Amino acid sequence: MRAHLEKLLALRDLDGAILAAERKVRILEGEVAAIERRIAAEKEGFARRLEEHRALRRRATEKAMEADEIDEKIRTYQHKLDHDIIPYKEMEYLKEQVEFLRSRIDEVEEEAIRLMDEVEEDSRRLEEEKRAHEERLAKLEREKSEVEGKISTLEREIQELRRKREAAIEGIPAHLRSHYERLREMYPDPVASIVNGTCSGCHLNISQTTVDRARQGEVVTCDNCSRFLYLESAL
């Protein structure tokens, strides 16, 4: 009987180790999920930064194109004034347009130059930000890989513990095994110690008869919660 009790205790220890390892895996999986969220946020943030730069470049290009269009209109209007025979009113209109467009083109070209300078400066900043972004991503990927490595190690340990459990449970009589499995569905500790005449699982008093039987190394159960009981002094 004492041998059966020792096997139950060994099984309890294996189950406790499996549960502890599984809890660690869940915690680490949470860490992986958190790192993946940080990676996604990092990528999204840099994608927004790239779009801001592209928008700036588009504005600069559009402003340069606007300046080219104005210049082309000035050339066209001036060519008509210099070479075509046109009515007086049209001539006056074209002169006004040329004068207006010449005053406008300076402003547009100045804005286009300012924007192109801003694009160049932003491009330099963007290169630095890209390097920093890639370094942060690489660091996060390393962190993720390290945590995933820990998970893999724990999963291998769990597999080994489960193999040991299969071997351990084979040496326990069927009626004790089935009772143990029922207890395990209810409690994380199917086997509890007797401390000062009480069950360490439910903390209720145990009959003296049960205590005496446990002292003899018999396999006994708690009168209240049905856990397997043992006395440290009897092992």
In tens, the pLDDT along 61-112 reads 999 999 999 999 999 999 998 888 888 888 898 899 999 999 899 999 999 9
DSSP code at position 204: -
In tens, the pLDDT along 117-168 reads 999 999 999 999 999 999 999 999 999 999 999 999 999 999 999 999 999 9
Sequence-distant (≥ 6) Cβ neighbours of residue 232 within 8 angstroms: 193
Q: How far is CA 172 from the centre of its chain?
A: 43
The pTM for the full model equals: 0.77
CA angle 52, 53, 55 (to 5 degrees): 65
In whole angstroms, give the CA distance from residue 28 to residue 197. 40
Instruction: Find tokens 């070479």 and name the residue.
Output: 83
Residue-level pLDDT at 209: 93
Q: Tell me if 227 sits within 8 A of 221, measured CB to CB.
A: yes
Residue-level pLDDT at 234: 67
From start to end of 118-219, where are the E strands?
A: 191-195, 198-199
Domain residue ranges of the chain, discontinuous segments joined by +? 10-172, 173-235
What CATH code would you report for 10-172? 1.10.287.1490
